[in-house]
Amino acid sequence: MAQMARDPGKKKEPALFQSWDGKPTTRLLRHRDAPNKVLLRRRHEKLQSLVPGIQIPTAEQEHANPRGADEIYDACTAFLLERTRKTDEFPLVFEENCNYGFRRNLWGMKPLGIATSVVGAVAVVAVLIFHRRAGVSLSPTTFICAILNLLLLLGWVVWFTPDWVRIPAEAYAERLLASCEKL
């Protein structure tokens, strides 16, 4: 089941990153997007010392060649991903990666979730109509099922959005880049 949920999330991930103007780690390494220039300088210095053969671009170089700069930032991220795979040494990176993956995959399953919620709600309504026409007393369980299906439908439509996925994606990016301090 986890693999079935992962595939739709992974397929939709490039569109997520495009709508966010890049991967969260890449955005946090960009001069133009950095919320904290002091922290950015520190991370660039650490990455420069950690990643062999990489020259972190200056703000001017990034401005002149944003795509090339993003490729360097992506290479730094790939390096960090490999160096932080030990979950016992980097538990927060692992935890945030799981949080992000769970939400991304759940969001990827949104069409199926909406469809099953609609089918469930329609089935419960059909049972209610059938019982009413047959003169059978309505069970509280039927009403509970109807309410649960409607709440699930509401959740799929309103709650499971790209913005909901973005929260753990950014937390994961922060934890991954913070791992530079431990490497």
* pLDDT tens digits along 125-175: 898 888 888 888 878 888 888 889 899 999 999 999 999 999 999 999 999
Q: What is the C-alpha separation between 43 and 175, in angstroms, rounded?
A: 12
Calculate mean pLDDT across residues 61-86.
96
Token duo for residue 177: 């880049």
Calculate mean pLDDT across residues 79-106.
96
The percentage of residues in the chain with a pLDDT greater than 90, rounded to a whole number, is: 77
Token duo for residue 140: 């509280």
CB atoms within 10 A of CB 82: 8
DSSP assignment letter at 181: G
Residue 81 has, within 13 A of its CA and on its CB side, a CA count of: 11
Please tell me the pTM assigned to this model: 0.85
Collapse the DSSP code of 20 into the 3-class scheme (helix H, G, I; strand E, B; otherwise coil) and give the result.
coil
pLDDT at residue 3 is higher than 90: no
Token duo for residue 96: 């945030």
Would you state the pLDDT for residue 83?
95
Q: What is the pLDDT of residues 21-32, one digit of tens each?
A: 999 999 999 999
Q: What is the C-alpha separation between 50 and 119, in angstroms, rounded?
A: 53
Token duo for residue 128: 């209610």
The domain ranges of the chain are 2-108+163-181
Would you state the pLDDT for residue 6?
86
Calculate mean pLDDT across residues 94-114.
95
